[in-house]
Amino acid sequence: MTDRLAPGDTAPDFTLSTDTGESVTLSDLRGGKVIVYFYPAAMTPGCTKQACDFSESLESLKTDGYTVLGISPDKPEKLAKFRDKEHLSLTLLSDADKAVMTAWGAFGEKKLYGKVVQGVIRSTVVVDEDGKVEHAFYNVKATGHVAKLRRDLGLSED
C-alpha cells in the first residue's frame, strides 16, 4: 500500500519539466493555492477528458486563486503533442521516473480490470498557501471530477 497524503501534511516539494522544457518547482508557488493532479497517460480517453475539464475551468480556478498542475509519467515531447492536440491551457509536468507520484501516494498498487497492478493512481491534491495539503483525493473518476472538486472546495460552478 502506498503512503497517501492527508490534510495537514506538508506537500513534498518537487521540480519537474513542463512540455515546453521549463521547470516548475512547487515551493516557488507558495503564497497561492495549487491543485496538483496526477493522471496515467496523455492522449488516453479518461485523461483527455480530465485535462480538458481542468483546462476549461482554468480561468475561473485562477480567479479563485488556484494554479493547476497536471503530472503524468509522459515525456515532455508527448505532453507537448497532448497540449497542441487538445488545446490545453494548463501546465503539464513530466514525472518520467515516477518519484514525485510515489512521494505523493499517486503511484502504487491499483486494480485494473480486476487485476492488481502497479500504476498511476488518478489523484488530486490541493495545496494551501503555506505548502500544506488542504485536500487529498485518491482514485478519482476522470469524468465529472473537476465539477466535484469545485463543489468540495466551495467554489461556484463555471
pTM metric for this prediction: 0.92
The answer to whether 52 is a known catalytic residue is no
> What is the model's pLDDT at position 1?
46
Q: What is the mean pLDDT of residues 114-133?
A: 93
Q: Where are the alpha helices (DSSP H) in 14-139?
A: 45-63, 76-86, 99-103
Cα within 13 Å of Cα(13), Cβ side: 8
Q: Specify the fold of 9-153.
A: Glutaredoxin (3.40.30)
SS3 38: strand
| Percentage, residues of the chain above pLDDT 90 | 72
- The H or E element that residue 112 is part of is strand 107-112
Nearest to 105 by CA among 120, 90, 95, 116: 120
**Cα angle value 9/63/26 (rounded, 5°):** 35
Domain ranges of the chain: 9-153
Phi first, then psi, for residue 97 (nearest 5°) are -90, 0
Q: What is the DSSP letter of 104?
A: T
**Residue 156 in this model has a pLDDT that exceeds 80:** no
Contact call for residues 39 and 120 (beta carbons, < 8 A) = yes
Cα separation, 138 vs 2, whole angstroms: 11
Cell numbers standing for residue 39: 493522471
Phi first, then psi, for residue 23 (nearest 5°) are -110, 145
**Residue 158 in this model has a pLDDT that exceeds 60:** no
Among 5, 24, 47, 58, the active-site one is 47
